Structure 1
Amino acid sequence: MKLLFLIADGMGGWPIKELGNKTTMEAAFTPNMDMLANKGIVGRCRTVPSNMPPGSDIANMSLLGFDPTKYHTGRGPIEAAAQGLKLDPDDLVWRMNLVNLSELSSDGIMHDYSSGHISTDKSVPLIELLQKELGNDEFTFYPGIQYRHLLVHKGGAKKLESKLAIRPPHDLTDKSIADDIEEFAKSPLMDKLLRDAAKVLKDNGTKVVSIWPWGQGNPLILPDFREKYSMKGAVISAVDLIKGLGRASGLEVIDIEGATGLVDTNYAGKVDATLKFLEHGDFAFVHLEGPDESGHMGSIKDKIASIERFDAQIIGPLMEKYPLGTASYLVTCDHFTPIETKTHDAAPVPFILVSDKCDGSGLKSFSEKNAKSTGLILEKGHELMQWVLNLTN
């Protein structure tokens, strides 16, 4: 029987006054998830260990069945794995955003972690320019997708820079960057690179003002997924983070033309790719970034829309091809991205597991509150995969 993990990144949240104290999940029209909740096991899972920050890197590593306290080294190394970069063990890999700041100083404010969700065709030339002007034997700039890029510091894993505690820019929207500027200043090397990059990027015709390196670590090494779980699997996602986790663990990585990571992503393309893979594969990890991006932007309207489209355009079509009894489904999010905070939260995430071997909960809808009401909680997120397999095989 096929197993599908359907992940709506950042879908969870808190009650919102403008929605009559409903969450965006509760406000969204989700007949497919509601039906699955009625027929399946509903509970919560702690995808982020208590001593780690609530990032998508950590949470999705857990959902794929790998303990982040053992394998996680940083966000940058995961995205480097997605690109297949050849790295030495002591290289330091940074995730590098192109950001919009009021100014690159302790008085600066983070206006936008994505520079207006800059398109890839506009961002790549900027990374190429940075490489031309500032790339050397120590630093290499690698282009990625949209605002998400990489910076590799040769041999940096053994140096001071590996210890810098730079906050993710999506945690800083409309907030001061003073603490991070102070942190960058601990490394004359990084401080100079930041300021030199700002000069290179001046008046570039986009909203980009600065680079923002963060999430650094040495290269990622994961166990082989097929050997560990005896399934031939694939990841289907728009973002390098998921692709990197997939590639590092030997899962097939499927690229989807028109997959943007936003509300207007290519839903049909993701479904078609999933169905084609399942003709010969066993496990599909289908990831939708839209709810998370909407949460970071503080857009109630977009977050509801992305949840509804996840239900109607991902879950619905997949269930038409693989109705209950022919496949098992795990539906969840990796973490909460509440509208109020515009950043990630480590609260246990709601999930549904539906299989012909599972009894139904009888719940009328799928929500954070209903998932909590069942009393079922898995405290170690990386054990969810094996828990699911034990109940479905």
Structure 2
Amino acid sequence: MKYAIIIPDGCADEPIEALAGRTPLQAAQLPFTDALAAAGSLGLANNTPAHLPAGSEVANLCLLGYDPDQYFTGRAPLEAAAQGIELGEHDWAVRCNLVTIEDQVMVDFTADHITTDEAAQLLATAQQALLSDQTGPGKFEFVTGVSYRNLLIYRGQPDTPPPFSGETRTRAPHDLTDLPVTDDFPRGPGSQQLQRWMDASEEIFRDHPVNQQRRAAGKRPATNLWLWGLGKSPQLPSFADRHGVQGVMITAVDLLRGIAALVGWPRIEVEGATGYLDTDYAAKGRAAVEALQSNDLVCVHIEAPDEASHEGRHDAKIEALQQIDQHIVGPLHKALAEQGDYRILVTPDHPTPCGTKKHSHGMVPFVIAGTDVEADEQQTYDEVAAAAAGRRLDAGWDLMQQFIKGSG
């Protein structure tokens, strides 16, 4: 048996007036995914429990079969794992966005998709200005990631109280787009230090050469550090131990790379995969088809629909969904069917409505097709058809076991 999981991140949405009351999934032309719906089984799953953040960190753990109440410790540790950063028992990771804030409003949580090289220069300056005179046993260090997605790592000592706790609360910047940030700074243990660094970064970055060059080029500057998503390293049992199948991950996003590393999946890096709307969909599809030859399960994550939603662009979201259908769903399903017994799952992690430009709690539609999957009466893959199918998983982490074992 071969398996494929396709995750069009954030593709679940709400009816949009400009689309005649349809969602982007309903408005998009998705012949290959609709064919899966006609031949397979649809339903709704909840990957974002109401008491936890409605983000990809919780949702993708759920999607892969891990109860977040048991395994979720924060977003940043997952991204640290993606970079091969090992966190000891007393260490913490903090997500560090480079953002654009104007008049205390989150104008852009990506700092206009700042480049990785520019981010490295800004973080080197922040390290020198904010962290060069650290005293005591615990040490902080900024670590460059990809573009605006970076980390702050704390290395603790056994006899030193940690700077944070499970009571420390932060807010994801992508949930603050176009909103005031005054009341959304960190709260709880260690939050005052985080807020001081966030405040100080504004002056440090204001006249930085990187921002001078960006303004001259008509790009938004990176005005601030935004620190959030902190946590300690989770202890995840391997996917193979839980489900009896070994997988491989294809993604351009560190969060998914990190989850893959922690559950024991190798990652396939695809040239041209960007984690944005300009990603090379066809290259991802080719890589997935090739990976089937030597792996039991291939998981392809595509960030583009989520990015389109964060920008409030339903047209770009529809285009991303159509590219995924044509270049990933179609070729991968064809390759699966040609090699023998198989199952394929298409599902987003969480909803990201274009109207709000941010992640939300709520059900997402899934479709399972393949060997020993009984077809229902639905003919299209979208939120309405999935609801009409009548299958509902309030604990989203149950879906993976059903997918692997074939109880769908």
**TM-score, L = length of structure 2:** 0.90
2 CA distance for matches of 1:186 and 1:133? 19
The within-5 A match list for 1:313-324 is 313-323=327-337
Match of 1:117 in 2: 113
| Corresponding position: 1:199 with 2:203 | yes
Deviations 1:47-77 (A, max 9, x none): 1223212110111001111111101000101
Considering only aligned residues, what root-mean-square deviation do their CA atoms show, in Å? 2.0
Give the letter for the 1:276 counterpart. E
Whether 1:173 aligns to 2:169 is no
Distance in 2 (CA, whole Å) between partners of 1:128 and 1:277 is 38
Where 2:260 maps in the other structure, the secondary structure is helix
CA distance in 2, matches of 1:185, 1:70: 22
- Cα distance per residue 1:2-60 (max 9 Å; x no partner): 10010100001000011100001111110111111000011111112232121101110
Equivalents in 2 of 1:358, 1:383: separation in Å? Answer: 16
Q: Is the 8 A contact 2:48 2:54 kept in 1?
A: yes
| Structure 2 unmatched runs, 5+ | 215-220
Closer, same or farther in 2 for the Cα pair 1:133/1:255, shift >3 Å?
Answer: farther
1:260-339 equivalent positions in 2, closer than 5 A? 260-323=274-337, 326-339=341-354
Q: Distance in 2 between matches of 1:233 and 1:66?
A: 15
Structure 1 residues 133 and 336, CA gap change in structure 2 (3 angstroms): same
SS at match of 1:69: helix
SS at match of 1:286: strand
User: Alpha-carbon deviation of 1:159?
Assistant: 2.7
Distance 1:59 1:308 in 2: 23
Structure 1 counterpart of 2:171, which letter?
Answer: R
Q: CA deviation at 1:132?
A: 3.5
Cα distance in 2 for residues equivalent to 1:318 and 1:121: 34
Kept in 2: contact 1:90–1:154 (CA 8 A): yes
Aligned amino acid, residue 181 of structure 2: I
Alpha-carbon distance between aligned partners in 2 of 1:392 and 1:271, rounded to the nearest angstrom: 27
Q: Does 1:353 align with 2:368?
A: yes
After TM superposition, list the pairs within 5 Å mapping 1:149-188 onto structure 2.
149-155=150-156, 158-160=162-164, 163-181=167-185, 183=187, 187-188=191-192
Instruction: Indicate conservation of the 8 Å contact 1:73/1:218, yes or no.
Output: yes
Q: Deviations over 1:254-294 (max 9, x none)?
A: 22222111121021222232223221110111100000011
- Asked if residue 148 in structure 1 is aligned to residue 149 in structure 2, the reply is yes
The corresponding residue for 1:390 is 405
Could you tell me whether the CA contact under 8 Å between 1:263 and 1:306 is conserved in 2? yes
SS in 1 for 2:143: strand
Report the equivalent of 1:258.
272
Whether 1:5 aligns to 2:5 is yes
State the distance in 1 between where 2:184 and 2:366 align: 35
Alpha-carbon spacing, 1:157–1:269, altered in 2? closer, same or farther (3 Å): farther
**Aligned residues of 1:91 and 1:157 also touching (Cα < 8 A):** no
Which amino acid letter does the alignment assign opposite residue 224 of structure 1?
A: S
* Kept after mapping to 1: 8 A contact 2:247/2:265: yes
Q: Percent identity?
A: 36
The range that moved more, 333-342 or 133-142, is 133-142
Look up the match of 1:369: 384
Query: In structure 2, do the counterparts of structure 1 residues 308 and 96 end up closer, same or farther at CA, with 3 Å as the change threshold?
Result: same
Asked whether the equivalents of residues 168 and 186 of structure 2 are also in contact (C-alpha less than 8 Å), the reply is no
CA distance in 1, matches of 2:203, 2:28: 45
What SS class does the counterpart of residue 234 from structure 2 fall into? coil
Q: Give runs of ≥4 in structure 1 deviating > 6 Å.
A: none
Residue 157 (structure 1) shift = 8.0
Task: Please give the per-residue CA displacement for 1:193-212, whole angstroms capped at 9, x wherever unaligned.
Answer: 22332222222323200010
Which amino acid in 2 is paired with 1:244? G
Gaps of 5+ in 1: none
C-alpha displacement of 1:184:
8.3
Question: How many angstroms apart in 2 are the aligned matches of 1:339 and 1:120?
Answer: 27
Cα drift, residue 129 of structure 1: 2.8
Q: Report if the CA contact (8 A) 2:167-2:188 is conserved.
A: no
CA distance in 1 between partners of 2:186 and 2:131 (Å): 24
Question: Which residue of structure 1 lines up, in the alignment, with residue 89 of structure 2?
Answer: 89
Aligned length in residues: 389
Q: Secondary structure at the match of 2:257?
A: helix
CA–CA separation in structure 2 for the residues paired with 1:230 and 1:187? 42
Deviations, residues 130-189 of structure 1 (Å, cap 9, x unaligned): 234333452100111111000112339833476332211011111111112474897442
State the shift of 1:327 in Å.
2.4
Q: C-alpha separation between the residues in 2 aligned to 1:121 and 1:254?
A: 23
Partner residue, 1:212: 226
Aligned to 1:40: 40
1:55 & 1:114 partners in 2: Cα distance? Answer: 16
Work out which of the residue numbers 251, 258, 263 in structure 2 matches 1:244.
258
What SS class does the counterpart of residue 142 from structure 1 fall into? strand
2:80 is matched with 80
Further displaced range: 332-341 or 156-165: 156-165
What is the alpha-carbon distance in structure 2 between the residues aligned to residue 326 and residue 391 of structure 1? 12
Please give the alpha-carbon distance, in whole angstroms, between the structure 1 residues aligned to 2:189 and 2:165.
10
Q: 1:182 to 1:141 in 2, by over 3 A?
A: closer
- When normalised by structure 1's length, the TM-score is 0.94
Return the offset for 1:329.
0.5
Please tell me whether the aligned partners of residues 157 and 218 of structure 1 are also in contact (alpha carbons under 8 angstroms).
no
